[in-house]
Amino acid sequence: MATAMALLRLAVLAGAVALLLPAVAEARILLSLDDFGAVGDGIADDTQALVDAWTAACASTNGHVVIHVPAGRSYQIWPVTLAGPCRDEIMIFVSGNIIAPDSPEDWERRDGGKWLHFFQVQDLTVSGGGVIDGRGQEWWAQACKGRHRNDKV
């Protein structure tokens, strides 16, 4: 009897929360990079998995879409443009790591020096406790070398 009463109270509380916080009760679609073939070892190129997850999220009309970057993994993403317009809100929830390629020279072949480029996108949220690492130390080192060369001229 006590268990039934506790379950009833829990159900009433859940219903009250759903009424008071409608955003919590909204339909959400969760797309993991792993679902789209990402390896997540920090070495493999996982760019296509992100592009495919983005394409699915952007086309979705079934509610708010969350693209999840799972914890405990590192996804190497090469320079990419993720374009809109999208049909609904998108959240990229980073629990793991998104990392850029090691060398800025590798970027010269792609997208004019942009890494994660969002174009014509509205209602995008990036959240979570993970890391987005553009490996800026390599860019700064290269920029400083170029500046010193100009100073000597």
Distances 24 to 15, 103, 117 between C-alpha atoms, Å:
11, 41, 29
- Convert the pLDDT of each residue in 35-60 to its tens digit: 999 999 999 999 999 999 999 999 99
Of the ranges 36-45, 62-71, 131-140, which one carries the lowest mean pLDDT score?
Answer: 131-140
Q: Give the confidence band of 136 by pLDDT, cuts at 50, 70, 90.
A: confident
Amino acid at 143: A
Domain 27-152 listed as CATH 2.160.20.10: yes
pTM: 0.75
Domain ranges of the chain: 27-152
Burial level of 5, CB count in 10 A (0-12/13-18/19+)? exposed
Contact (Cβ atoms closer than 8 angstroms) between residue 63 and residue 40: no
pLDDT at 140: 78
pLDDT of 141 higher than 90: no
